[in-house]
Every structure is written in C-alpha cells, then in structure tokens.
Amino acid sequence: GENVEQHPSTLSVQEGDSAVIKCTYSDSASNYFPWYKQELGKGPQLIIDIRSNVGEKKDQRIAVTLNKTAKHFSLHITETQPEDSAVYFCAASNQDNQGGKLIFGQGTELSVKP
Amino acid sequence: DTEVTQTPKHLVMGMTNKKSLKCEQHMGHRAMYWYKQKAKKPPELMFVYSYEKLSINESVPSRFSPECPNSSLLNLHLHALQPEDSALYLCASSMGRLDSPLHFGNGTRLTVT
C-alpha cells in the first residue's frame, strides 16, 4: 500500500523567511496530493492541493511542486508570518481507486518567530 | 469557521458510559468520514459513508458504532470505551467524487476515564 514520509518533523523560521516541507510517496499510482494546516485546537484545513497532471501550483504565498518521477512533492511558504505557525500534513491518494483513501504524512510543526 | 460542525467540543466519559458524537454539514456533500487523531500524529481513518451507506470500516472495534441518518448528519456512538480511546475525533465530508477534497470539522476532544 501507499506510504508517505514527511520531513522535517519540526521547522523554525524567522518571520519573513521561506519555509519548505518535503514529502515522498511510494505508490506510483497516487495522483492526488493535498496539504492540510492544523492549528491548535482545530481540525485540519485544506490549504492547497495538486493533481498528478500538474507540476506546480501557486496560491498567493503558498506553492506546491510535484516531481512524479522522483515521487516527491513539496510545500513552499514565502514571506512567513506568525499566523503560519501550525502543524502541516501532506497526503497522497489514488483517486482512480474506489474510496481514494488519503494517506497522511507524519506532520511538520512549523514555528514562525516574530 | 469550518462548515462541518461537530458536537460536543469536549467529552469526558467513564468506561461504562454510552455517549454519541455528532457531525453536521450543509454543503451538499455525499461522503462523510470519521477520523481519530492522537496528539502529534496524523488523522487515522475509521469509517467512510458514501451516499448514506457505510463503504469503509477500517477494522474499528465494535465499541465504536457509526450511523448516518441522512446525507447531512453523521453520528458516532460510543460504548464501553477504554482509556486508550482518548483522542480527538474528527468528522470530515467531501463531494463524494474521487477528486474532491476533504473538509474537516474541529473535532470532539474525548477523554475516557
């Protein structure tokens, strides 16, 4: 089955710097890759997603890149702000399979220092 | 604010109690999910309902019993839980199409004493 590895587990940056979180997946049939942000006391919220027919997607300060050959995808946050501090989860699934079960990475705790 | 509403926000129950968690969404989504999340871990899938029918049960113990009364509501009935069942229980919904993203609620923080 699918396995998703996420690095780093913790990341501390200064406000205004960029942050990069990387994930690798094992199942070459996976074709949907969402990223979730979970703030303390809240549920995960989708911040961006990418499908395997696209190499890069950007939404304001957030971008995701996908390398299908290497089976890895990354989240890039530019001009970080204290409110970006949260736990970020990557995930992968094969949307062509019945159920399309999401497999999550272990999470990255991002701390943005003012 | 999330469009998936979960009640209660917090629940403390003894091992002999029976309680229920509730989830509601009004986005017209046709798939609803229960996840369990332990501290500093990713969510773990428990159950999936698709068009009000149970489509996935991830080998969850029978002390957890899901129910989907209609397309907007999802319940999780709890009975004879163990302390290790203490966790954040998250409900999520999606359009039900295989490429539609999950929308999570803020969860119920459950403590079993």
Q: What is the pLDDT of residues B71-80, one digit of tens each?
A: 899 999 999 9
Q: Is the separation of the CB atoms in A102 and A14 below 8 Å?
A: no
More confident residue, B79 or B2: B79
The pLDDT assigned to A94 comes to 78
- Closest alpha carbon to B23 in B14, B31, B13, B32: B32
Burial class (CB in 10 A: 0-12, 13-18, 19+), B5: middle
B96: pLDDT confidence band, cut at 50, 70 and 90?
confident
More confident residue, B108 or B56: B108
What's the rounded mean pLDDT across residues B62-73? 96
The pLDDT assigned to A20 comes to 98
Q: What is the C-alpha separation between A113 and A70, in angstroms, rounded?
A: 32
Chain B residues whose C-beta sits inside 8 Å of any chain A C-beta:
2, 4, 40-43, 45, 48, 55-56, 90, 92, 98-99, 101-107
The pLDDT assigned to B100 comes to 78
The pLDDT assigned to A5 comes to 97
Average pLDDT of the residues of chain B? 93
Q: Is the separation of the CB atoms in A86 and A39 below 8 Å?
A: yes
The residue of chain B with its CA nearest to that of A40 is B106
Task: Give every residue of chain A whose pLDDT is below 70, as ranges.
Answer: 95-100
The pLDDT assigned to B57 comes to 93
CB pairs under 8 A between A and B: 51
Q: Is the separation of the CB atoms in B99 and A42 below 8 Å?
A: no
Per the structure block, which two tokens stand in for A47?
A: 């911040």
The pLDDT assigned to B2 comes to 66
Q: How many angstroms away from the CA of B1 is the closest CA of chain A?
A: 10
For tokens 């946050």, the residue is A77
